[in-house]
Structure 1
Amino acid sequence: MIAARLTALAIGLCTAGSAQAACGDDPAACTVPGGSYHIVLPDGAPAATPALVFLHGFGSSGEGTLRNTGMVEAAVDRGYAVIAPDGQPREGRDGLSWDFHPERPARRDEGAFIRAVADDAAARFGLDRDVMLLSGFSIGGSLTSYVACAVPGSFRAYAPVAGSFWRPHPAACAGAVNLHHVHGWQDGTVPLEGRVLGSGVAQGDVFVALQIWRTANGCRLQPDAHGAQGDYQIRSWTGCDSGARLDFALHPGGHSVPPGWADLALDWFEALP
């Protein structure tokens, strides 16, 4: 179990604080071909530290991700590094975003970039490349879903928040994945059913995405378990033919990373076989 491995890693960790790692002359950003990322490490982190790789939302940045101190501190206090990649500049606008829409040409292979960030951070800071959870918020959650669908083995597991596929939905994914999707019941920015934006592109339907994941994982239609955990209503597919796990958690709020999300996601991640 991942949980046993992380318990062993936690021995000797000082979790009273955390340190943003420096890369070269810049105390904030590390660079890889095609882009940059930011990282926070647990104090006294041993070799083979696990990591949460979190992709920011539209108009934000990796540095902006690290300003979500509740999420970052919750992960760091559990012994995780938090890796926050940077999206690409938006022409004529502030902030960054991601380039992945299935019907638009991409300036960068985002999946290859995210994998390069994870590989670089593992080599540079002694992280365990095999114990990384890829997550993201909003459009970052969408990119998380596309990476999981196209190259399932890119990360140990995936946890998109308030973001999923866009239309046209993928016809199929390349293989099974462990995936934990969280969404707000009242989300009006990325509604569960999706919507058409002013640019003409259309967000996908989260329920259609769940069927795509069930098919990829070899799950039956009905969940194997469902119930409440705090503010979350969770449906879980744990008996899939592939052995992979799929969870869908709804909370009553809107378009946000809800309070307590990091512990919810990392509890799930550590319980994976």
Structure 2
Amino acid sequence: MLLLLVSVIQTKTLRRALGTMLALILSLGTLAPAPAAAQSSLPGGFALPGGSSGGDATFPLAVGGRDVLVSLPPNYNPAIAHPVLLVFGGLGASAEEVSRTLGLRANSGAIIAYARGVGNAWAGAPYSQTTMDADVSYARGIVDAIAAQHPVDRGRIYAIGHSNGGAFALNLACRAPELLAGVVSVSGMFYTAADQGCWGGNVPVMLIHSTNDDVAVYGGGVRHGAPFLSVDEMFQRWGTRNGCQLQPVHLAAGGGRTHRAWTGCRAQTELVISPSAGHPWPGHAPAVARDFLARQNR
């Protein structure tokens, strides 16, 4: 009898405990749900012009009497100093067109600056509407203007350009070598007169060109009434400026391309040749350029 009584008491106690727990669970279910995790945002309340909250927009930034279109990298963090890639389009290509068509932003961790040439052209060409000193000063001003608003890694400032802009990127390495950690020229139009004033060097350089380029002809020639250098001549000149031994080695390359590099250089000097890309900006240029520039810093 005593054991039966104890059992009944235990059963009632267990039921009361279970009832209490159930009531507690039900009461929790009626509380307001916990707030969802806040969406990632940029520290310091950073926001792009136009209300965008990420590095997705391209926006203008004043540089002297011109402007530049600036694109911040995806997942931009203003607490981190980023590299800067200066981009110079070919003759007639606006900064807006260059930003839309060159495909440089994908997989890039750099702040990209699409520069605006006077008359959509760059110094060093016979049709240029400005001087070399003015365009070099403008390029320096771009870096300073970006650095005034965003942390910049001064040891990783790069330049890339196409056609007339590709030649100017090299001219920038000639006249502002301390600014740049690396330069890529794509389908560059290397007017002889512009290169004669080159005094710089020790800047990593890559040339990307095609043997069937019918504008910036691989073997050199005359255009707009002015002579321009062959790609091989320009490759050799930069090999000399970068202290290379001028003994080429062949590196792996896909898509039927040839990839050459000088040996013993103080600064890497390379040439990527396509047999069929012509003069337009080639699809392989962004990845090839990115791989080269990622290895360079000052």
1:66-105 CA-partner distances (Å, limit 9, x unpaired): 1116x2332xx3322221010012xxxxxx1112348988
Instruction: Give the Cα separation in 2 of the matches to 1:50 and 1:171.
Output: 28
Asked if the contact 2:186–2:285 (Cα under 8 Å) also holds between the matched residues in 1, the reply is no
Identify unmatched segments of 5+ residues in structure 2.
1-40, 43-53
* Cα 1:129–1:172 shift into 2, 3 Å: closer
> Residue by residue, what CA displacement relative to the aligned partner does 1:221-252 show, whole Å, maximum 9, x if unpaired?
221x2133112311112412xx2110011012
**Structure ranking higher on relative contact order (CA contacts 8 Å, 6+ apart):** 1
TM-score in terms of structure 1 length: 0.79
Aligned-residue offset at 1:52: 1.9
| Amino acid in structure 1 at the alignment position of 2:274 | H
Whole-Å Cα distance in 2 between the matches of residues 251 and 125 of structure 1? 37
Instruction: Give the corresponding residue for 2:273.
Output: 250
Q: Percent identity?
A: 28
| Contact 1:145 1:164 (8 Å CA) reproduced | no
Query: CA separation in 1, counterparts of 2:198 and 2:145?
Result: 30
Between structure 1 and structure 2, the one with the greater Rg is: 2
Two-structure CA RMSD over aligned residues (Å) = 2.5
Matched, 1:178 2:207: no
1:84 aligns with 2:114: yes
Point out where structure 1 has 5 or more consecutive residues left out of the alignment. 1-11, 22-27, 90-95
3-state DSSP of counterpart to 2:104:
helix
SS at match of 1:191: coil
Q: Within 2, Cα distance between the matches of 1:34 and 1:175? A: 29
**Correspondence list, 1:198-209, <5 A:** 199-209=224-234
Contact 1:100 1:110 in 2 (8 A): no
> How many residue pairs end up in the alignment?
240
What's 1:35 paired with? 66
Counterpart in 1 of 2:29?
Answer: none
Q: Which residue of 1 aligns with 2:98?
A: 65
Instruction: Return the TM-score normalized by structure 2.
Output: 0.73
Corresponding residue SS for 1:57: coil
Contact 1:184 1:256 (C-alpha < 8 Å) held by counterparts: no
Following superposition of structure 1 onto structure 2, how do residues 219-238 of structure 1 map, counting pairs within 5 Å?
A: 219-223=244-248, 225-231=249-255, 232-238=257-263
Distance 1:257 1:110 in 2: 22
